[in-house]
Amino acid sequence: MGVRIKSTGTSRDTSDTFSVVEHSARAAKQAMERAGVRPEQVGVLINTGIFRDSNTVEPAVSALIQKAAGIGLDYTKDDPRSFSFDLMNGAVGVLNGVQVAQSVLATGSADHVLLVSGDTHPSLTRGAADDEFPYATSGAALLLESTGEPEGFGRVHTVQGAGTPAVESYVDVATMGTAGRGLMTVHREADAEDRLLEVAGRAARAALDEAVAFDAATTVLIASTPSPEFPARLAAELGIAEVRTPDLSQGDPHTAALSLAYDAAAQDDSLRGFTQVLFVAAGAGPSAAAVLYRLPALVGASA
């Protein structure tokens, strides 16, 4: 039994809100609507976003997203139970979320797991990245379910690099005073991208080495986007020609990059003719994760 993506959802229009809670909830609702899944059929919601509204610490942002998405709001005796939690590991979080979803769904304790991601500037006054805060506002969702078909995610491989974190984000409470809830300091080392590329390559090769049969010609790479060039650089190292990326016009969507890229590829039908997607995420640590996703036959079938 495997785990597959049943549907996706996204939210990127910042004309009426910069709230990552709202964007993640909208993405979650869209994923459920596309799949014809009711909120009470979602057993677990996992939020992997890092940068949140007003630097919220408590309650868990996942609970706020769960409420905004209308999941698990009834508490009478016979109502289905849903719960949510934050899983924060930077750009790698979505693939860590896949690991947890695989374990949850294997137990049969939930029919669906909703994996949401997204970030925003804590001031809630801007949506595009810049030199001081290099992440774009967005929300994305993957609705996951068990399948008995020969498709879905394989084993997630993780890698931890040595040395300094490469990228650090923090609220400097000693200097920010009363403005701390709307500010965030992001420090990226000069060689950060090269170090992220190194760990990403190691994780990707581990996933490919485990593959029973790997054909670069029928594989698409979807990778995190610490720079617009990063996915193509990684693809060149791995010998994979096809790459799918999210819309980067507003900057790096950070934790939502993989989900946004997969959604875009699925919506424009650009995965047709391919058999698998190699998902690779790399971020602060430096750390990375990679997993092969076997596409459903209907998606991968030749035109």
Average pLDDT for the chain: 91
Every domain of the chain and the residues it spans:
2-150, 157-300
Q: In b/e form, how buried is each residue of 158-195, taking b as 16+ CB within 10 angstroms?
A: bbebeeebbbebebeeeeeeeebbbbbebebeeebbeb
**Is pLDDT at 94 greater than 50 in this prediction?**
yes
At 173 the pLDDT is: 75
CATH superfamily of 2-150: Thiolase/Chalcone synthase (3.40.47.10)
Query: Where does the pLDDT of residue 302 fall: very low under 50, low under 70, confident under 90, or very high at 90 and above?
Result: very low
Residue type, position 158, single letter: T
Encode pLDDT of 254-294 as tens digits: 999 999 999 999 999 999 999 999 999 999 999 999 999 99
pTM for this structure? 0.93
Say if residues 90 and 23 touch (Cβ distance below 8 Å): no
**Is pLDDT at 77 greater than 70 in this prediction?**
no
Average pLDDT (243-254) is: 96
Same topology between domain 2-150 and domain 157-300: yes
Those residues with Cβ within 8 angstroms of residue 179's Cβ, 6 or more apart along the chain or in another chain: none
How far is residue 277's CA from residue 127's CA, in Å, rounded to a whole number? 29
Encode pLDDT of 190-229 as tens digits: 999 999 999 999 999 999 998 877 888 899 999 999 999 9
Considering the segment(s) 157-300 as one domain, its CATH architecture is 3-Layer(aba) Sandwich (3.40)
> Half-sphere exposure of 243 toward its Cβ, with a 13 Å CA cutoff?
22
Share of the chain above pLDDT 70, in %: 95
